[in-house]
Chains A and B, each alone.
Chain A
Amino acid sequence: MTPQLDEYVEAEIQRLLAETGSVAEQGITIARREHLIVLGGEVESAQRRDEICRQINQHFPDVEIACDIGIVRAQAPTEVEEIS
């Protein structure tokens, strides 16, 4: 049975992601849909994105996740901004 995705679950997941040592992410957004949560934001590696989903699955096994978390690009810039 799909659990109720209320504000308490959302708050618990937000704290889990910040306070769990293997995650330590404060910039992940959580959007509640009818039967799932959609994760957003960007992290520095694919391992970190996968660990976020693993932690949520472990602590909230009945919550369905859609993961839209991206990996921040790290290419060199091609432009310079003149400050005045």
Chain B
Amino acid sequence: MIRIAAVGDVHVDKDVVGRYRPALEQLPGVADALLIAGDLTRHGTVEEARCMAGEFGGLGVPVVVVLGNHDHQSDQQDAVTDVLRDAGLVVLEGEGTVLELNGHTLGIAGAKGFGGGFAGACASKFGEREMKNFVGTTEAIAERLGAALRGLDCDALVALTHYAPVPETLTGEPLEIYPFLGSYLLGQAIDSAPTALALHGHAHHGSERGRTPGGVPVRNVAHPVIKQAYNVYQLLTDEVDAGLVSI
């Protein structure tokens, strides 16, 4: 059994420091790893990254994250990544990592992702250069995510993105902004590998549960959606959890 804690869109700055910590201190008894689905900061500054690293670092369980659009706002995403890595967090962008947990291996491939929309209403690489760049950016990210997923050798495989891979978990958001919230290309990448679970954030007014066309469970763990410090998901169930109640 592997238990994964997950949250997204924590938007840490000075005013948030300390809010998550009491719940995070309980993590070693509740989950084997924490995954964070982007928008770690408000504006993507180094100062905010230090606040984030202080709040979510040194937890006693591995912490694996992807960046979100907010973490790119100040064009300091590389420096933000460095601060987080220096604090011991694993930052993924089109790459994967394997954790050994409870005698199992958990593979996590992560990427921020990008927009473009979903079948029936998706953007095409056609027309203005800006439009081609928009769709091309998502294509490149999705290709790297798919390759990272397919390249991991593990017992359980998880995909971690900020943008959504399916429209189901956007239910509650205005239809008009779906193309800015995710892309079917991310779902296609997730379906190209034996993915057990896909986690994303970004859609604050979305819904928690969905499935890719290939049947992979998708969970929107944006903080305003789950309304608690993190959710816990159990994979490779082989024994009864004594501490928490299954739902």
Contacts and interface: CB of A to CB of B under 8 A. Distances in A.
Given A76-B230, A79-B244, A79-B247, 9 more contacts: A26-B204, A42-B204, A45-B15, A45-B16, A72-B223, A74-B228, A76-B30, A76-B228, A77-B232
Contacts of A41: 204-205, 224
A21 B43 CA distance: 8
Interface of B: 3, 10-12, 15-16, 19-20, 22-23, 26, 30, 42-43, 70, 73, 196-197, 204-205, 217, 223-224, 227-235, 237, 241, 244-247
A27 interface: yes
A42 B233 contact: no
Contacts of B233: 80-83
Name which of A27, A42, A47 has the most chain B CB atoms within 10 A of its CB.
A27
Nearest to A28: B204
Interface in A18-51: 21, 24, 26-27, 29, 41-42, 44-45, 47-48
Chain A: interface size category: 20 to 34
A78 B223 contact: no
Interface of A: 21, 24, 26-27, 29, 41-42, 44-45, 47-48, 72-84
A82 B241 CA distance: 10
A26 B22 CA distance: 27
